Structure 1
Amino acid sequence: MAKTIDYGNLMHDAMRGLIRKVLEGVARDGLPGEHHFFITFDTMHPDVELADWLSDRYPEEMTIVIQHWFDNLEVSEDGFAITLNFGDSPEPLYIPYDAIRTFVDPSVEFGLRFETQEYDVEEMDEDEIPHDAEVTSFEPKEENGKSAGPKEAEIVSLDKFRK
Structure 2
Amino acid sequence: MSSSIDYGNLMHRAMRSLIQEVLQDVADNGLPGAHHFFITFDTTHPDAVLAQWLKDRYPEEMTVVMQHWYDNLLVEEDGFHVTLNFGDQPEPLYIPFDALRTFVDPSVEFGLRFESPEMDDLDDEDLEDDLVEQDETAALEEILEETDAPKEAEVVSLDSFRK
Question: Common fold, TM-score beyond 0.5?
Answer: yes
Give 5+ residue unaligned stretches, structure 1.
120-131, 139-163
- What is the identity, as a one-letter code, of the residue corresponding to 1:111? G
1:5 maps to: 5
Paired with 2:118 and 2:67, the residues of 1 have a C-alpha distance of 33
- Matches of residues 10-159 of structure 1 in structure 2 within 5 Å? 10-118=10-118
TM-score norm. by structure 2 comes to 0.73
- What is the identity, as a one-letter code, of the residue corresponding to 1:49? V
Give 5+ residue unaligned stretches, structure 2.
120-129, 139-163
RMSD of aligned alpha carbons: 2.3
Richer in strand (by share): 1
Paired with 2:14 and 2:134, the residues of 1 have a C-alpha distance of 11
Paired with 1:117 and 1:100, the residues of 2 have a C-alpha distance of 13
Richer in helix (by share): 2
Q: Secondary structure at the match of 2:118?
A: coil
Paired with 1:6 and 1:41, the residues of 2 have a C-alpha distance of 23
| Cα shift readout 1:79-107 (whole Å, capped 9, x = no counterpart) | 00000011111100000011010000000
The share of aligned pairs that are identical, in percent, is 72
- Aligned residues, how many? 127
Task: Give runs of ≥4 in structure 1 deviating > 2 Å.
Answer: 132-138
Deviation at 1:34, TM superposition (A): 0.2
Bigger Rg, which one: 1
Deviation at 1:22, TM superposition (A): 0.3
Higher RCO (CA-CA < 8 Å; seq separation 6+) = 2
Paired with 1:17 and 1:117, the residues of 2 have a C-alpha distance of 19
